[in-house]
A and B are shown apart, each in its own frame.
Chain A
Amino acid sequence: MALVADESPSPPLSSVENNFQPFFVLHKASPPRKSAVKTRRRIELSPNAVEDSPEGYNENLRFETLKFLWSRNESTIKEVLKNNNAEVFDKIDKWISESFNSICAYGKLDSTSATRPYPLLDKASISTSVASHQIFTALLCTKNMEFVDDIMTFVDLGAHLRSRGRYVANLTSLDFTAKNGVGGCLKSLLRQFLMVGIDAPDISILASWYTEQGNTGNPMIVIIDDTERCCGAVLTDFIIMLREWFIKIPIILILGVATVDGLRNNLSSNACSYLSLCEFTLGTPAKRMDAVIEAVLMNKSYSFGIGKQVSVFLRNYFLRHDGTLTFFVRALKGIGGESSSLGKNLVKRALELPSSMRFCQSRENRNDCAHGLSELKRLRKLWSSMVMCLYEVGKYHKITLLDLYCDMLEPVPCDSRASDHLQLSKDNSISSYNHHLLGCFQNGGWVNRAIQIVRDLPAVELCKLLKSWEMLTSGINEALTGDPRRRIQTDLLESQKFLKCSCCSKSSGVLSPSMHDTSIMYSLAQEHGDLINLHEWFHSFKEIVSHPRTQAKQRLRLSPSPKKRKACQQPQNQNEASIQARFCRAITELQIAGLLRMPSKRRPDYVQRVAFGL
């Protein structure tokens, strides 16, 4: 810890104290430029200040470019997904109108009974039928194992219904927790309908609000997005309560479920019988995925694209690991950022383009001319150059799997064949070099075709692709997701590779005393079973660290035999204490990394290994 602190320009005096604060303010935002005197060092390092340097300027330009392009993509994706659901949304809206008409058909309330602060259930005051005790409920089936893709769907549905003049509240499973009970969801409901936070939520508040508004012409819609994850008991209470107030507050429910059965499993049969269900189904995740790919990657009017391999990788990741569109979209965004940071040389090159130079000359008024049309064109070119590195290896449309495999390990430079698929630019001022670069761009069809090919591949081959991609992307972008379980273990088992020291690297496979203590300990742990005898472990460790290197080299396997130990024991108590302390610290660190469990009362002499294999 102190290692870096020593390096930093001005370590805060109270840093030791801060370590034991649950939280603390490291620093406040530096005031806008020129408004305060800062130390020289700070000025050099702050991003604002760097803006004046060409690198900082380029950096900022890159950032703005990317942000701009992505915001276009983001809105496209949103639009596509919305359109994809439009049909279902319209159906739901129609159903709401019909349901509300049937509620109204039960009869209107006179003003006195409407303002009473208790529910109406007596048969005298309303024309009843069995059906009148049922809450109209739409079951919106997502047909999706993962709910994360549908969070926006339900937000969109709410917005769609609001645009039709409905009162809508969106609730989530977090509003239906056993801890907060029915009050929790009621609070959220009042917050959304009345736009105020109420500490003691009561449904009669909602009833009087509804009557006061004079909105007898409009139902109240409550959307619960992830119904299967709601606490069943709270949801049941909520439904029973709504049913009691059914006439005073005409609430219509829209419940998001993965499958119809999910609801029945979660609710009591009693509550189920209070619901008059109508099923709606959203488009499948695969269909949505296709729509997004079509809109973002296949559309020629956007300068956004990903290489074949990247798409294959993402596709495989989607199919085999994550299964969510959300991740896919996020990865697209991440790859945009990644490629722009990878292609620094390309950016440099692009900034030397005549068009770019012109822009740079007039850069003092760059704040004034924000993203005009002509600039958009330039930014698009910049962007095109930046994503080039991703396209460089993905230009062939019809390649065997082996070719693909080799390509990924050893990218092939552009050749003339690629220019067949040249994406023509409107600006003629770009250099021939850049023309060549652009030659590597495919039009949307190739990507589509590549994905199609990949889709038809047998599972084993797909898996191979995925594996090779894992290798290729390791340390670069990992498509945003880390692999702590494997990587932390590798950090420990191959510490010399990361530390790049001269002392330990030579003796590959042999534990040398100079290695990182925790590394030695974890390597030793590999030889034990799921229980590690602390005594043996300690002595193995002690032998390694207290031996000169030459001797340690001779021993490949460690045998904690007592005779050997006797021979090598060093009498210095000081040394013994230090070794024991190092042993303790290594164990603590392994515990922090989650690789060990502490001795139980039953087995005080053993710790438990947690991870087996990488």
Chain B
Amino acid sequence: MESNDVEEEEFGFSRNYFLAKEVRSSGKKGARKLSQINIVDEQELREACSNIEPKHENEIINLVNSYKNSYSEWVYVLRYGFGLLMYGFGSKKALIEDFASTALTDYSVVVINGYLQTINLKQVAITLAELLWDQLKMQWKGASGTKQQPFNTRSMDDLITFLDGPHSENDDTFVCVIVNNIDGPGLRDSETQQYLARIAACSHIRMVASVDHVNALLLWDKKMVHTQFNWYWFHVPTYAPYKVEGMFFPLILAHNGSAQSVKTASIVLQSLTVNAQKVFKVLAEHQLANPDEEGKCLHLILKFAILFYNIIDKENYFHFSFRDAI
């Protein structure tokens, strides 16, 4: 009987798939509309969202605390040369940062928030190089001939070479990079992942990352997984709410999804020229400085959004209209 397990599992999968397709066609007839739900006011919904009463608070605390016993093992694996990859349902941000704050105090730690939309990896690499430099200086204390090098003018290749360099006989000198949601929207493209992999492979870098997506493995090829990230997986479900991580997702019941338009707007904003982006920044700052004029500024931004959309390249005209409109 057992020998058929594999076939059964595969059969089970296809059966599930086709059943799902079937149910869908029958479910369509009596389709109900989202609008039939008596949705509360968006403001109220958002407020309720921030005040959701936590469930199983104690159990979650116990569960997360139970992982604290593994901290020493994690440090061990990390020092041994592996990267830690945490997965399982629930936000792992607090867990990993707590791990770093308590068990990795001997090393500098940089946290990358992968759930954000835009992350400048070069800036991260510069920071890493500076931290490593500080750490090395501490070791060489008293030794002469150590002069500070300006990292921010170096190319990414140079920075990676520096992080990978044989600076110290003590191979326990490293900077730890924590990547919350390495499968997050800001890091999901292949170029970024390649850079992350190269950074992770450096001799003076160790990486601790978390993934939340069931298909996160698809981000990497075998070279990256085995030789660069060198992942050591740990299953650590926390069931903690994805509060920060979920902040950029639209609320499904919010009318027309203003959050959705925020996301869309940010995509449009990213596609603009640097100059155009700067103008939006000026506008935003103006708005923040004059909160009373909210309506006016929003109106302006809207006006400019349309304007830029049409005439992104014609900068002269754009300058003129900008002054004009102000």
Q: Which of B54-62, B269-277, B286-294, B313-321 contacts A (4 or more CB under 8 A)?
A: B54-62
**Residues of A1-46 whose CB lies within 8 A of B:** 1-5, 7-9, 18-32, 42, 45-46
Give the residue of A23, A487, A591 whose beta carbon is less than 8 angstroms from that of B112: A23
Considering only CB atoms and an 8 Å cut-off, how many residues of chain A contact the other chain? 116
Give the residue of A67, A197, A592, A607 whose beta carbon is less than 8 angstroms from that of B249: A592
Considering only CB atoms and an 8 Å cut-off, how many residues of chain B contact the other chain? 131
- In the bound complex, do residue A480 and residue B5 qualify as a contact, i.e. CB atoms below 8 Å apart? no
Give the residue of B6, B28, B155, B214 whose beta carbon is less than 8 angstroms from that of A488: B214
User: Which A residue's beta carbon lies closest to that of B154?
Assistant: A197
| Assembled-state Cα–Cα distance A606/B254 (Å) | 15
A382 within 8 A of B: no
- In the bound complex, do residue B45 and residue A581 qualify as a contact, i.e. CB atoms below 8 Å apart? yes
- In the bound complex, do residue A580 and residue B88 qualify as a contact, i.e. CB atoms below 8 Å apart? no
- In the bound complex, do residue A529 and residue B23 qualify as a contact, i.e. CB atoms below 8 Å apart? yes
Residues of chain B contacted by A326 (CB below 8 angstroms): 222, 226-227
- In the bound complex, do residue B13 and residue A613 qualify as a contact, i.e. CB atoms below 8 Å apart? yes
- In the bound complex, do residue A27 and residue B214 qualify as a contact, i.e. CB atoms below 8 Å apart? no
Q: Which of A118-126, A244-252, A494-502 contacts B (4 or more CB under 8 A)?
A: A494-502
A-B contacts at CB below 8 angstroms, number = 347
Residues of chain A contacted by B80 (CB below 8 angstroms): 63, 66-67, 70, 333, 337
Residues of chain B contacted by A577 (CB below 8 angstroms): 40, 44-45, 47-48
- In the bound complex, do residue B233 and residue A478 qualify as a contact, i.e. CB atoms below 8 Å apart? yes
Give the residue of A67, A480, A578 whose beta carbon is less than 8 angstroms from that of B53: A578
**Residues of B70-90 whose CB lies within 8 A of A:** 72-73, 75-77, 79-82, 85, 87-90
CB distance from B152 to the nearest CB of A (A): 15
Residue interface bits B199-239, CB-to-A below 8 A is 1, else 0: 00000000000011111110001110011001111110101
CB distance from B243 to the nearest CB of A (A): 5
A374 within 8 A of B: no
B285 within 8 A of A: no
Interface of A is mostly: helix
A445 within 8 A of B: no
Give the residue of A62, A460, A480, A594 whose beta carbon is less than 8 angstroms from that of B215: A594
User: Which B residue's beta carbon lies closest to that of A4?
Assistant: B94
CB distance from B208 to the nearest CB of A (A): 11
- In the bound complex, do residue B45 and residue A589 qualify as a contact, i.e. CB atoms below 8 Å apart? no
User: Which A residue's beta carbon lies closest to that of B27?
Assistant: A529
- In the bound complex, do residue A592 and residue B226 qualify as a contact, i.e. CB atoms below 8 Å apart? no
| Assembled-state Cα–Cα distance A587/B246 (Å) | 10
| Assembled-state Cα–Cα distance A147/B225 (Å) | 13
User: Which B residue's beta carbon lies closest to that of A542?
Assistant: B37
CB distance from A19 to the nearest CB of B (A): 5
B110 within 8 A of A: yes
| Assembled-state Cα–Cα distance A334/B12 (Å) | 33
Give the residue of B38, B64, B76, B249 whose beta carbon is less than 8 angstroms from that of A576: B38
| Assembled-state Cα–Cα distance A611/B215 (Å) | 10
CB distance from A559 to the nearest CB of B (A): 12
Residue interface bits B114-146, CB-to-A below 8 A is 1, else 0: 001011100110010001001100110000000
A156 within 8 A of B: no
Give the residue of A147, A481, A498 whose beta carbon is less than 8 angstroms from that of B233: A481
- In the bound complex, do residue B39 and residue A580 qualify as a contact, i.e. CB atoms below 8 Å apart? yes
- In the bound complex, do residue A146 and residue B222 qualify as a contact, i.e. CB atoms below 8 Å apart? yes
Beyond A531-B27, A577-B44, A580-B45, is A45–B102 a contact (Cβ under 8 Å)?
Answer: yes
Give the residue of B21, B108, B116 whose beta carbon is less than 8 angstroms from that of A27: B108
A570 within 8 A of B: no
Beyond A3-B94, A23-B111, is A582–B52 a contact (Cβ under 8 Å)?
Answer: yes
User: Which B residue's beta carbon lies closest to that of A43?
Assistant: B105
- In the bound complex, do residue B107 and residue A29 qualify as a contact, i.e. CB atoms below 8 Å apart? yes
Give the residue of A333, A533, A613 whose beta carbon is less than 8 angstroms from that of B31: A533
Residues of chain B contacted by A322 (CB below 8 angstroms): 222
Q: Which of A287-295, A386-394, A433-441, A513-521 contacts B (4 or more CB under 8 A)?
A: A513-521
Residues of chain B contacted by A191 (CB below 8 angstroms): 157
A585 within 8 A of B: yes
- In the bound complex, do residue B138 and residue A32 qualify as a contact, i.e. CB atoms below 8 Å apart? yes
A341 within 8 A of B: yes
A407 within 8 A of B: no
User: Which A residue's beta carbon lies closest to that of B155?
Assistant: A197
A59 within 8 A of B: yes
- In the bound complex, do residue A2 and residue B251 qualify as a contact, i.e. CB atoms below 8 Å apart? no
| Assembled-state Cα–Cα distance A23/B176 (Å) | 13
B283 within 8 A of A: no
| Assembled-state Cα–Cα distance A151/B106 (Å) | 33
A534 within 8 A of B: yes
Residues of chain A contacted by B21 (CB below 8 angstroms): 529-530
- In the bound complex, do residue A63 and residue B27 qualify as a contact, i.e. CB atoms below 8 Å apart? no
Beyond A26-B110, A26-B178, A464-B5, is A63–B76 a contact (Cβ under 8 Å)?
Answer: yes
Beyond A27-B101, A482-B87, is A21–B113 a contact (Cβ under 8 Å)?
Answer: yes
Residues of chain A contacted by B38 (CB below 8 angstroms): 576
| Assembled-state Cα–Cα distance A589/B213 (Å) | 10
Residues of chain B contacted by A498 (CB below 8 angstroms): 63, 237, 239
Residues of chain A contacted by B118 (CB below 8 angstroms): 22
B323 within 8 A of A: no
Beyond A484-B213, A580-B45, is A330–B226 a contact (Cβ under 8 Å)?
Answer: yes
Of B54, B250, B253, most A-chain CB atoms within 10 Å: B253
CB distance from B116 to the nearest CB of A (A): 5
A489 within 8 A of B: yes
- In the bound complex, do residue A499 and residue B56 qualify as a contact, i.e. CB atoms below 8 Å apart? yes
CB distance from B33 to the nearest CB of A (A): 5
| Assembled-state Cα–Cα distance A8/B138 (Å) | 28
Residues of chain A contacted by B113 (CB below 8 angstroms): 18-24
Residues of chain B contacted by A481 (CB below 8 angstroms): 231, 233
A568 within 8 A of B: no
Beyond A576-B40, A585-B246, A613-B16, is A45–B127 a contact (Cβ under 8 Å)?
Answer: no
Where the two chains meet, the residues of B that have a C-beta atom closer than 8 Å to any C-beta of A are: 2-3, 5-6, 12-13, 16-17, 19-25, 27-28, 31-34, 36-40, 44-49, 51-57, 59-65, 72-73, 75-77, 79-82, 85, 87-91, 93-95, 97-98, 100-103, 105-113, 116, 118-120, 123-124, 127, 131, 134-135, 138-139, 155, 157-158, 175, 178, 186, 194, 211-217, 221-223, 226-227, 230-235, 237, 239-246, 249-254
12 inter-chain pairs at a CB distance below 8 angstroms, sorted by A residue, are A24-B113, A29-B138, A30-B105, A62-B76, A174-B194, A461-B3, A480-B232, A484-B215, A536-B32, A581-B52, A589-B241, A611-B214
In the A-B complex, list the 5 residue pairs whose CB atoms are closest, starting with the nearest.
A482-B233, A529-B23, A529-B24, A581-B48, A594-B213
Where the two chains meet, the residues of A that have a C-beta atom closer than 8 Å to any C-beta of B are: 1-5, 7-9, 18-32, 42, 45-48, 59, 62-63, 66-67, 70, 146-148, 151, 174, 191, 197, 322, 324, 326-327, 330, 333-334, 337, 341, 460-461, 463-464, 467, 475, 478, 480-482, 484-485, 487-489, 491-492, 495, 498-501, 503, 514-518, 528-531, 533-536, 538-539, 573, 576-578, 580-585, 587-589, 591-595, 598-599, 604-605, 607, 609-613
Name 20 extra pairs, CB < 8 A, besides A25-B110, A530-B20: A1-B91, A23-B111, A25-B111, A28-B131, A31-B138, A48-B106, A147-B222, A148-B223, A481-B231, A484-B215, A489-B214, A499-B239, A501-B56, A530-B17, A535-B36, A538-B253, A578-B52, A585-B49, A588-B252, A610-B214
